[in-house]
Structure 1
Amino acid sequence: MQQAGTNKTPFGARKTGVAALAVLFLMTAQASAQQAGRATAPASAPASTPASAPARVAQGRVAIPPAPPLPHAASAPQTVSAPARALPAMPVPMPPQAVSDASAASRASEAAEASAASAAEAASAASAASEAAVPEAPLPPEPPEPNIAQRTGLAPQGAYAMRQAFAREVDRRLDVPAADQQAYGRALQRALDENGHGNLANEFVVLVDRAENVQAVFVYFRAKPGDAWSMTGASPVSTGRPGSYDHFLTPLGVFQHVPGNMDFRAEGTLNEFKIRGYGARDMRIYDFGWVDGERGWGKGGVSPMRFQMHATDPEKLEPVLGMRHSKGCVRIPSTLNAFFDHHGILDAQYEARAAEGQSIWVLKPDRQTTPWAGHYLVVIDTARKTRPAWSPGPGKAARQQVPAAAIHVD
């Protein structure tokens, strides 16, 4: 402690002050030495000192002396003077690089190769589509499966009663005189005789007269061989119109309706010509497979064609049924299509397959198939020179409403 009335500094205090000055001097000297060393030493090479140099306590931390130089092949350790590096786990943005001419040429070559490959694939697909379009060989006739009435000997009264159902359900009907009904019955029998089906009976048969002045479809039935055929009903149709490319005359003959040429149903969508070629949605397309058809263009001749019977556009083309207008198929009224479908008029073979357990998706679950279901569509040509009054053609107003593009529709 200080004594009052004196200005002298105690000896202990003087000793402490001298020590503090010495420490300050040493710190200043060391800082100057470090700055001088950094100014003279290369940035990439640490200064060398003996390995035995002791560590010094300076400014409250341990100063590690520089490490000795390493052999030439060794890697230099990282020191505080080394440049900072990005951590491996962090993304390091790469500066944009200019694309060299060689790289651009390489990429152009790759693009050309890819384009060539795409062209090759397209050509291959086109070739495959062309091969797929090649007509199949016509299916051989199937042994006709007997319908329910043929198996059980069911009395035919219900078959004759289908006349009332036809009149009730089909809106486009023809009032055929009795004499013409009988004449067409005889024509049907001749066609069946010529094709080995002369004893056909106890089932419905669909008959089409493709004559330009008739254009009609008939449904016939008889109970026993030798009986006269009895007409159930008749409607107007459109068959193949010659004179344009890809238009066939509707083929003549007896055509068996079998699941091997599976039917399908219309989607009801508009085609590129804004026409529903197969009619409204859910209309059934009766498919009779590939047959030989007479070409209606060029020098004529015979070519394979896919023969079908189907509905047509209900607004644009159904009004002109009664004149030749199709590309070879038989177009029928939509209500007649529904009548055939619901009652299974031509579904004897389809129903037999379904009874065996096969999945026949085109058959509706709510159908009421007649026990007298048939197998055959028959097409004839009476070549009538004049138009009968009972089969009038479409009027002028209906013809004028037909789009020009309708010529391209089946």
Structure 2
Amino acid sequence: MASVSRVHSYARRSASSFGLSLALSLASAFAVPTLTQNAHAADAPQVASSAAVDASAVAAHDAAGRVDPRRALLMRDVFARSVTRRLKVPAAEQRAYGERLQQALAQNELGNLSGEYVVLVDRNENVQALFIYFRAAPSDTWQMIGASPVATGRPGQFDHFITPLGVFEHTPDNMDFRAEGTMNQNGIRGYGKHDMRIFDLGWAQGERGWGKGGMSQMRFQMHATDPDKLEPILGIRHSKGCVRIPASLNVFLDHYGMLDRDYEALVADGRSLWVLHSDRVATPWAGRYIVVVDSQRKARPAWSPAPSGKVRAKVPANADTAD
């Protein structure tokens, strides 16, 4: 499995000490009763106000001014209210994927990682799913927060990579950006609606899915996709190598800063980052790792259904030429 991508000193701060300072500096954001719907969010799926109320309870301080990390699991309810494309993963499968996550982390010297959210992607063509996990301490088992269908790299066409395996760090060294929402020559909004966030993971070694194969560099990102033409077919391999996710999941990860640990560290140091919205409600358990595995499944599990033939038939020609 690939090694961790670009690990830096500030990313190695202990989860407990950094999580506490982040909780103290950001907890005030959780106190808002509703979400401000600014102009920048006009085109994006809105996180329900009821979810914002739930989120304010997640980071509530105790009498000693601390935030109990076990409360991070309350984000399950926020996920269920906010994300429209969800997978109902059986408990046994949740445990199995938690074990896959732990194995991948351990292979990359991150076996004791805890106190922060982690995104796990199964690139297997019979699964195509994303999971969010959390555990409060290294001795705990990983607990699933929620799961959604995705689309990873589809081989067989020029410039299409198989999504790389490994543990990838979400760091400001590869600064995120936001979608313009414009269409390409095929009428596709490759990054989705205006203002959708592109989680940029930098350059990675990917397996070419065309010609004689082999490895070469690809820009690895996780992002939304065309809401009308391509989001309905999430659940099958259809990208050029990146991980396509539902728009509502994009907003959830973005608004609550689920992967923004290193971004918020810069903000805490006085940096102003345009890519972060001012009305975000950043979690004190922000993470920074996206892990890609392949479960090697030979058949489609019932909990991760593929899009129907009727839905696939509506996809226009050349729709996957934009990642």
- Using the size of structure 2 for normalisation, the TM-score is 0.82
Shift of 1:407: 2.8
Shift of 1:395: 0.4
Instruction: Quote the sequence identity (%).
Output: 62
Aligned equivalents of 2:70 and 2:139: distance in 1?
Answer: 18
Q: Which residue of 2 aligns with 1:43?
A: none
1:142 matched to 2:8? The reply is yes
List 4+ stretches of structure 1 deviating above 2 A.
145-154
Distance 1:405 1:184, change over 3 A: same
Shift of 1:359: 1.9
Q: Secondary structure at the match of 2:168?
A: strand
Q: Which residue of 1 aligns with 2:206?
A: 293
Q: Secondary structure at the match of 2:318?
A: helix
Q: Secondary structure at the match of 1:161?
A: helix
CA contact (8 A) 2:5 2:168 kept: no
Aligned equivalents of 1:384 and 1:140: distance in 2?
Answer: 30
CA contact (8 A) 1:309 1:332 kept: yes
1:384 matched to 2:254? The reply is no
Shift of 1:154: 2.8
1:250 matched to 2:163? The reply is yes
1:359 matched to 2:266? The reply is no
Q: Which residue of 2 aligns with 1:277?
A: 190
For 1:327-366, list aligned pairs within 5 A. 327-366=240-279
Aligned equivalents of 2:120 and 2:75: distance in 1?
Answer: 16
Q: Which has the higher contact order (CA 8 A, sep 6+)?
A: 2
Q: Which residue of 1 aligns with 2:126?
A: 213
CA contact (8 A) 1:202 1:223 kept: yes
The AA in structure 2 aligned to 1:396 is G
Q: Which residue of 1 aligns with 2:153?
A: 240
Q: Which residue of 2 aligns with 1:167?
A: 80
Q: Secondary structure at the match of 1:385?
A: coil
Q: Secondary structure at the match of 1:218?
A: strand
The AA in structure 1 aligned to 2:19 is A
Aligned equivalents of 1:328 and 1:395: distance in 2?
Answer: 22
Unaligned runs of 5+ in 1: 1-137
Q: Which residue of 2 aligns with 1:51?
A: none
The AA in structure 2 aligned to 1:165 is V
CA contact (8 A) 1:146 1:348 kept: no
Shift of 1:373: 0.3
CA contact (8 A) 1:139 1:260 kept: no
CA contact (8 A) 1:201 1:225 kept: yes
**Which of 57, 65, 69 is the aligned partner of 1:156?**
69
Q: CA RMSD in A?
A: 1.4
Shift of 1:226: 1.9
Aligned equivalents of 1:391 and 1:139: distance in 2?
Answer: 29
Aligned equivalents of 1:293 and 1:407: distance in 2?
Answer: 18
Q: Secondary structure at the match of 2:232?
A: helix
Q: Which residue of 1 aligns with 2:53?
A: none
The AA in structure 2 aligned to 1:391 is S
Deviations 1:340-385 (A, max 9, x none): 0000000000000011111211000000000000010000000100
The AA in structure 1 aligned to 2:230 is L
CA contact (8 A) 2:152 2:238 kept: yes
Aligned equivalents of 2:8 and 2:89: distance in 1?
Answer: 33
Aligned equivalents of 2:5 and 2:133: distance in 1?
Answer: 26
Aligned equivalents of 1:228 and 1:291: distance in 2?
Answer: 29
Distance 1:169 1:155, change over 3 A: same
Deviations 1:274-316 (A, max 9, x none): 1100000000000000010000011110000000000000000
Distance 1:184 1:150, change over 3 A: farther
Q: Secondary structure at the match of 1:183?
A: helix
Aligned equivalents of 1:370 and 1:347: distance in 2?
Answer: 9
- Using the size of structure 1 for normalisation, the TM-score is 0.65
Shift of 1:200: 0.1
The AA in structure 1 aligned to 2:166 is G
Shift of 1:139: 7.1
Aligned equivalents of 1:247 and 1:360: distance in 2?
Answer: 32
Aligned equivalents of 2:170 and 2:5: distance in 1?
Answer: 11
The AA in structure 2 aligned to 1:164 is D
CA contact (8 A) 2:150 2:243 kept: yes
Unaligned runs of 5+ in 2: 24-65
The AA in structure 2 aligned to 1:248 is F
1:177 matched to 2:67? The reply is no
Shift of 1:150: 4.7
